[in-house]
Structures are given as C-alpha cells and as structure tokens.
Amino acid sequence: MILTLTLNPSLDRAVEIDDLVRGEVIRATGTRLDPGGKGVNVSRALLANGVPSVAVLPCGGDEGGQLVRLLADEGVEVIAVPIAGRTRSNITLAEPDGTVTKVNEPGPCLHPTEFEAVSARLLDTAGRADWVVICGSLPPGLPVDAFAQLCRRLVDAGLRLAVDTSGPPLRAAASAGATLVKPNREELAESVGRPLPTLDDVIGAAGQVRTWGAGTVLASLGAQGAVLVDAAGVHIGDSPVEQPRSTVGAGDALLAGFLAAGAAGPDALAEGLAWGAAAVSLPGSRMPGPADLRRHAVRLRPRPDDLPHLVARR
C-alpha cells in the first residue's frame, strides 16, 4: 500500500474553452470537477491502475466535505482530518492547443495542533505502507522546520519517503534523507537557486540535491520527458503526446507510475512516463487507467555521459 499526504488539497474545476481572451465573456465547451492536490492525484492514479493507496488530508468547510465525497466516488480510502479553515478551490482553463491557465487559491492556514493531528494520523497508518508520499505546497504559515521534522520522523522510522514539493521544503526533505524527491524543472531550479535551461543543468542540479541527502531525484520536464538520477547513474526518457488536453496532474501520474513499477531504474522511469503522458491526453485532472496507457510510445535515451552531444544539442 502507498500512503499519500496532501497538506493543501483542493477542489479542481477544469473548464475547456476555445480561446482565452482577457476581459471577454468566454463560453465553456466542457467542464469537470475533480478532487485535487498532488498527493490526492497520486492516490487516484494508483487506484485507477489497481495499486492500493490511502490518502491522508486535512479538510474543512463544505468544500472539504465535497472533496471527500468525490474521492469516495472514485473508491479512494481517505483519512480526513477536520480543520477550522476551508479547503481551497482551484480553476483550470484549458485551450485546444494544450495551453493551460491555472488560478489556485492559497488554501487555509493549519494551526500547529491541526498539523500535529494530521502528522499523527499519517504516522499511525505509515507502518503498513510500502511508501509514504508527501506532495504539494505547504499550507500558508506552516513553518518549513515543522515539515522537516515530519520528514525526519518518517525517515527515522525506517519508512521509504517520496516528496514532491519545491523551494525550502524540497531541500528540507532531501536533507532529512528522503528516499525520493520529484520536482519539476521550475521547482528544481527554485531549490538550487539558479535557472536550468539545458538537460545538463537539470542533471547537475539533481546531483546537487542528492548531495543534500536524497537517495533518488526524478525530475519531470514537461513535454521533454523526465530525468532520473540515482546511485546507479542517469536515465532519460520522454513520451510524446500528439493531442495534449491538460497538463494538470501529469507530474503526479508520472510519480505514481514510477512508484507502482518499483521506483528504480529505467523500467520504472518508462512506466512513469507512460502514466504521465496518458494524463496529458485526458481532460482536467482525470487520472489515467490501464486502457489509457501507451507504453509503446515511451522513448528511453542514452545517458548523456555516453553521448555528450545529446546534452549540448538540448
């Protein structure tokens, strides 16, 4: 079983439009409402493919109740911790060419006692998990030190910890000894404090994150695929999508597929890429199931130290 924690979950409303024109009345061509948040999406993707998962999350207000109901409708086992604040709502505007515009609310503040209650429920359940996965942004006002302490408690308990976040929290998770971190290019750049325009830059930054204490770095690069850097070396791959519909949740599906396939080596990277590409082909933040996967489209590439010109060209 894979246990996920989403500290700042959401209701995600995706609206499909023909063209985004500022200041105009725009008529939607389609709409859907999904449970949202990175960890929530990881659980949804795993369960859609028959991999057991349990989602831990704080929830509050009518929005929190609706989020739990939507997850129940998808068969997701939820450990919901009540909070005083209101669960946030996010809006995604998706255009036919794959362009996505997102408006995300900041989400509620977590009182220290609420964060401790969430942490306690996570730790109580973690003993029966193969992986503990913490994903997404921190709630407003939550100290990075509190997040770092939670990561250390999980690692010290001998649990395999995967973290998908950015900035100081990503560094805190790596320094705590997380087994796996999965930033995208922008999140990785923010964490190391410099732009990463080339593949070589991404690989160097991933190596730097490993020096902080992380065992494996899986960096998602959008349409360029993903890079896996671990003790065995570097693996690169992509999976082209002819008709992208929404990139929302694609990185979460990538992480879910990687974990489902064993979370090590090129085979796990290939599976993650297949899941991520399938998510891009679907509307809103819908997670792919087995019928959506196109494993034959995945391309694994030579390592850059075998083909230096590959790095230079990209």
Go through the domains of the chain in sequence order and give each one's CATH number.
Answer: 2-20+27-313 (3.40.1190.20)
Query: What is the rounded distance in angstroms from the CA atom of residue 17 to the CA atom of residue 260?
Result: 34
Whole-number pLDDT of residue 309: 37
Summary mean pLDDT of the chain: 92
Q: Does residue 53 contact residue 4 with C-beta atoms inside 8 Å? A: yes
Confidence of residue 301 (pLDDT cuts 50, 70, 90): confident
Report the share of the chain in percent with pLDDT over 70: 96
Catalytic residue, candidates 12, 238, 252, 292: 252
| DSSP run (H or E) holding 39 | helix 38-48
Instruction: Answer for the pair 138, 147: CB distance below 8 angstroms, yes or no.
Output: yes
At residue 313 the predicted structure's pLDDT band, cuts being 50, 70 and 90, is very low
Own/partner pairs, 77-82, CB within 8 angstroms, 24+ separation? 77/53, 78/54, 79/54, 79/55, 79/121, 79/122, 79/125, 81/56, 81/57, 81/114, 81/117, 81/118, 81/121, 82/58
Active site residue 252: yes
pLDDT band at 164 (very low <50, low <70, confident <90, very high): very high
82 C-beta neighbours (distance < 10 Å), count:
11
Q: What is d(CA 217, CA 188) in angstroms, rounded to the nearest whole number?
A: 10
Beta strands in the chain (DSSP E): 2-6, 10-16, 30-36, 53-59, 77-82, 88-94, 100-104, 131-135, 161-164, 180-181, 216-220, 226-230, 233-238, 299-301
Q: What would the 3-class secondary structure string for 135-187 be?
A: ECCCCCCCCHHHHHHHHHHHHHCCCCEEEECCHHHHHHHHHCCCCEECCEHHH
Token readout for 98 is 């794959």
- Of the listed ranges 56-60, 144-148, 300-304, the one predicted with least confidence: 300-304
- Indicate the SS3 state at residue 201: helix
Q: What CA–CA distance (Å, rounded) separates 14 from 285?
A: 7
Structure tokens at 208: 């730097």
CA distance 159 to 14: 35
Mean pLDDT within 15-28: 93
- pLDDT computed for residue 305 by the predictor: 56
C-alpha 46/C-alpha 287 separation (Å) is: 9
CA dist., res. 181 & res. 231, Å (int)? 14
